[in-house]
Amino acid sequence: MAETFGVIAGAMSIAALSTSCVECFDYIQIGRRCGEDFQTELLTLRFLKLRLSRWGAAVQVYDDPPPPLATADLELAKDTLGQILALFDETEKVSRKFYPEAKRDENIVEIEPKFVALHSKITSLIGKRLTGLTVTKRQRIKWVLHDRERLSNLTQSVTKLLHNLEQEFPAPEAQTALAKAEASEIIESITDSEQKQPILYLVGEVATGVDRLFRDELAGLTAKNTIGHIVCTGDAKIRDGDFYSNPWRGVKEVPQSGSMSIKSIHASGNSRVMNGHTYGGDKDSFWD
């Protein structure tokens, strides 16, 4: 397998090889046998694809002509990209072997309506980077992944290889600028005010596992508090912000609820008002 993809990688330009890797995400579909977190798994694949395209844009592999690389560096990049191709190919073959009876269009996870705008924006961001590129001629058809463990192994392995690419060919300033622009456009694409915060929270959770640069830029744009006109009388209590109970003590990375906008709260008597989220199940004296 490694030798086969070594030959393929060696015969392709760095731009074509990178584009081929991005395209691999278009052929995989998730079956409902993978578990219950369907939308999370779909988003995980989307953000891995976005991260890969961001790396390519940051190091200018999509430029015509691409920047010159030393032979050793070029071979290293192509080898890593070839490993990504091999991962998808091997996962596809195993899936077809163990689930030969599964029809391609049977029990496929579809994007929920509330996530359509988000997925469309990610697709648009990636598409703009690949505009005008000649894609590979490998004949592929969509396939379904039914095994949750294999899906997890695939995403973890691709995440590690992307990390290797970013370490071997760093472009931190360009990547940060691109990630910030992505986060800004994604935030603007979610126009449903009621769904916006929950969707962005899920996006942050997904990105924490596969794209921390994007996660950090998203947090920087959404973690903004605007508080005003709060009146508290009597024995009332008001808490603004998130609360983390004892189980979260010592944890370096904690969830964040994002932006907050408050106008004209009047709490009186024995009322309790919390503007934020509570994480953990321990008893909180605030509510006493």
Summarised one tens digit per residue, pLDDT across range 4-15 is 444 445 557 888
pLDDT digits (tens, 9 = 90+) for 227-267: 667 788 888 887 777 777 776 676 666 666 555 656 678 88
DSSP states along 169-211: S--HHHHHHHHHHHHHHHHHH---HHHHHHHHHHHHHHHHHH-
Instruction: For residue 109, give the amino acid letter.
Output: V
Domain architecture of the chain: domains with CATH: 2-222 (1.20.120.1020), 226-287 (no CATH)
pTM to 2 decimal places: 0.74
Contact between residue 87 and residue 35 where contact means Cβ atoms under 8 Å apart: no
Q: pLDDT digit string (tens) for 139-164?
A: 567 888 878 889 999 999 999 999 99
**Separation CA 4–CA 25 (nearest Å):** 20
Closest to 212 in 3D by CA, of 51, 56, 45, 21 = 51
Find the mean pLDDT for residues 69-80. 88
For residue 234, give Cα distances in angstroms to 20, 240, 272, 273: 65, 18, 11, 13
- Residue 169 is predicted with a pLDDT of 93
Statement: residue 31 has pLDDT above 50: yes
